[in-house]
């Protein structure tokens, strides 16, 4: 589960960036300080003019989020793509019946000319390429256009958003921008902050999986406890013989509890080792075992110390609890042990 979630987040960050910097008012603002701080923090970034528009082909219209990018400074995931007008994902191409070389119209509903006040501004573009980002929400609504074309269409100049890629200290970056004149005009959000609903859903999914894992472990523990009760009933006479030879009931109970805990520690530990070996083999030799409809045809493996700790700690803790419960009935009084001796005689 962690591997699938990790791949989803990795693909989304590859396209949308690990964080975004939004310039609330880009008109007449000197943005050179932004690039200086990015260079200082060694952050790979992509500047763009982002705006919500409509894309039309014949009678088919769909809302889109247009990214006006500079052709000589494309985002990392678009490196190697050559286009002059318009780059669209496969989902939008299918929705509007577009293909490479076809014409389409980009409409800015909120921008009109002085002469034609009721008619929104629009531009005719050729589709230069069709791509797939493997991020559903991006493939359904996002397009990439030449930056100057977007600026001319909406009659606004300059970039209003920077997408930041890679790992960096977001808090330190925010602190550095807070001491600049642009502090009131800048808003920095991490990918997690912009996708808080998705992050919450993934966290809930993880919690449900952990709950199911604990419930399954409890079920297995109940079965094992039933076996232990039968086992201790079989060896009750042996325990009584040790008591007669001078061993205290407390020592007998502690020895049995220690043995069960040691057995639980070894078996759970061996289970973790075998699981890690299996996952390593699946990651290395698994191949593409998922159907073609899945984005990740190879099952992604993601092992963390937190996951290993939970996988070991939960079964071992439950085994300790149920082992103790199975031993409670053997904390009997002397008369009950004597009664067991009388039955032997």
HSE on the CB side for 136, CA within 13 Å? 4
Q: With bands split at pLDDT 50, 70 and 90, how would you rate the model's confidence at 65? A: very high
Q: Whole-angstrom Cα distance, residue 240 to residue 260?
A: 19
Q: Whole-angstrom Cα distance, residue 264 to residue 230?
A: 18
* Residue 315 φ/ψ, nearest 5 degrees: -65, -40
Residue 244 has pLDDT above 70, yes or no: no
- Average pLDDT rounded to a whole number, residues 172-177: 85
Q: What is the pLDDT of residue 144?
A: 92
Q: With bands split at pLDDT 50, 70 and 90, how would you rate the model's confidence at 243? A: low
- Average pLDDT rounded to a whole number, residues 276-296: 71
Is residue 144 within 8 Å of 67, Cβ to Cβ?
Answer: yes
Q: What is the pLDDT of residue 54?
A: 92
Q: Whole-angstrom Cα distance, residue 226 to residue 220?
A: 10
Q: What is the pLDDT of residue 112?
A: 76
Q: What is the pLDDT of residues 131-165, one digit of tens each?
A: 888 888 888 999 999 888 888 888 888 888 899 98
Characterize 268-290 residue by residue with b for buried, 16 or more Cβ atoms within 10 angstroms of its Cβ, and e for exposed.
Answer: beeebeeeeeebeeeeeeeeeee
Q: Whole-angstrom Cα distance, residue 58 to residue 318?
A: 64
Q: Which residue would you say has higher pLDDT here, 228 or 55?
A: 55
Average pLDDT over the chain reads 80
DSSP state for residue 98 in the 8-state scheme: -
Q: Which two tokens stand for residue 223?
A: 């079965």
Q: Whole-angstrom Cα distance, residue 203 to residue 198?
A: 9
Is residue 168 within 8 Å of 38, Cβ to Cβ?
Answer: no
Strand segments (E) across 70-207 = 86-89, 103-112, 120-131, 142-146, 161-165, 186-190
Is residue 261 within 8 Å of 320, Cβ to Cβ?
Answer: yes
Is residue 323 within 8 Å of 261, Cβ to Cβ?
Answer: yes
Q: With bands split at pLDDT 50, 70 and 90, how would you rate the model's confidence at 239? A: low
Q: What is the pTM of this model?
A: 0.71
Residue 256 has pLDDT above 60, yes or no: yes
- Average pLDDT rounded to a whole number, residues 249-254: 73
Among 64-78, 128-142, 169-183, 293-307, which stretch is predicted with the lowest mean pLDDT? 293-307
Q: With bands split at pLDDT 50, 70 and 90, how would you rate the model's confidence at 80? A: confident
Q: Which two tokens stand for residue 162?
A: 């920077």
Q: With bands split at pLDDT 50, 70 and 90, how would you rate the model's confidence at 108? A: confident
């Amino acid at each position: 589960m962690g591997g699938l979630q990790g791949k989803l987040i990795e693909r989304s960050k590859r396209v949308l960036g690990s964080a975004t910097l939004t310039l609330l008012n880009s008109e007449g603002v000197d943005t050179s300080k932004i690039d200086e701080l990015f260079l200082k923090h060694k952050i790979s970034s992509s500047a763009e003019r982002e705006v919500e528009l409509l894309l039309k082909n014949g009678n088919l219209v769909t809302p889109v989020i247009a990214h006006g990018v500079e052709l000589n400074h494309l985002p990392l995931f678009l490196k190697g793509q050559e286009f002059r007008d318009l780059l669209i994902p496969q989902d939008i191409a299918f929705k509007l019946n577009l293909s490479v070389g076809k014409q389409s119209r980009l409409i800015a509903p909120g921008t009109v000319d002085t002469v034609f006040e009721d008619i929104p501004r629009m531009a005719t573009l050729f589709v230069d390429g069709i791509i797939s980002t493997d991020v559903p929400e991006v493939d359904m609504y996002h397009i990439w256009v030449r930056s100057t074309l977007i600026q001319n269409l909406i009659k606004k100049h300059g970039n209003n958003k920077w997408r930041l890629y890679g790992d960096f200290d977001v808090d330190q970056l925010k602190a550095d921008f807070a001491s600049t004149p642009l502090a009131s005009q800048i808003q920095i959000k991490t990918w997690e902050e912009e996708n808080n609903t998705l992050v919450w859903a993934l966290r809930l999914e993880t919690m449900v999986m952990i709950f199911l894992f604990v419930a399954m472990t409890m079920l297995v523990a109940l079965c094992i406890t039933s076996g232990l009760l039968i086992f201790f009933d079989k060896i009750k006479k042996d325990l009584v013989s040790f008591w007669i030879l001078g061993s205290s009931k407390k020592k007998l109970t502690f020895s049995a509890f220690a043995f069960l805990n040691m057995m639980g520690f070894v078996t759970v530990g061996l289970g973790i080792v075998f699981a890690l070996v299996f996952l390593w083999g699946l990651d290395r030799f698994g191949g593409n075992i998922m159907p073609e409809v899945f984005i990740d045809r190879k099952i992604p493996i993601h092992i963390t110390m937190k996951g290993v700790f939970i996988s070991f700690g939960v079964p071992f803790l439950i085994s300790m609890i149920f082992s103790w419960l199975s031993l409670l009935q053997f904390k009997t009084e002397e008369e009950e042990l004597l009664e067991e001796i009388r039955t032997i005689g």
